[in-house]
């Protein structure tokens, strides 16, 4: 999960679409910019589309196309607007300020997965 400069909430990495850009293309671009990752399109699995209050923009709603991907070889490094990157254990979320989209939708999806199902949607 990532935390942007000047904020307290952690969320999944990602960002806004450029005009005419497909959500997966945008995600791959954002992962490169924010974490230095270059992952092939075929490595991603679409999870779904979700809407929730924006974490850092009061009064706005974020509509997110969510994908899962397993990161094995590359080590993510915080860059661009990202102040902090961290792996988050599902059984140790105490003290982590989570974005509404993460806490309301994405974590319940992850918690519902069978143990070890990292390649499943939400894994």
Would you say 102 and 11 are in contact if contact means Cβ atoms under 8 Å apart?
yes
Would you say 4 and 28 are in contact if contact means Cβ atoms under 8 Å apart?
no
Q: Where are the domains of the chain?
A: 2-112
Residue 116's pLDDT band, with cuts at 50, 70 and 90, is very low
pLDDT at 105 over 90: no
The number of beta carbons lying within 10 Å of the beta carbon of residue 46 is 12
Q: What is the per-residue pLDDT for 108?
A: 83
Report the alpha-carbon distance of residue 32 to residue 38 in Å, rounded.
Answer: 6
Mean pLDDT of 57-76: 88
Q: What is the per-residue pLDDT for 66?
A: 93
Q: What is the per-residue pLDDT for 115?
A: 54
Of the candidate CATH numbers 3.40.50.2000, 3.90.79.10, 3.90.650.10, 3.40.50.2300, the domain formed by 2-112 belongs to 3.90.79.10
Is residue 27 helix, strand or coil?
A: helix
Report the alpha-carbon distance of residue 123 to residue 114 in Å, rounded.
Answer: 9
């Amino acid at each position: 999960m990532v935390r942007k400069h000047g904020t307290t909430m952690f969320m999944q990495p990602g960002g806004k679409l450029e005009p005419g850009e497909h959500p997966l293309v945008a995600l791959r671009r954002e992962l490169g910019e924010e974490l230095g990752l270059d992952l092939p399109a075929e490595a991603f699995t679409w999870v779904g589309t979700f809407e929730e209050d924006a974490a850092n923009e009061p009064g706005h709603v974020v509509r997110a196309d969510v994908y899962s991907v397993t990161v094995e070889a590359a080590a993510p490094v915080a860059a661009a607007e990202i102040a902090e990157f961290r792996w988050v254990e599902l059984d140790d979320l105490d003290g982590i300020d989570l974005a509404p989209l993460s806490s309301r939708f994405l974590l319940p999806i992850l918690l519902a997965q069978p143990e070890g199902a990292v390649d499943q949607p939400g894994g």
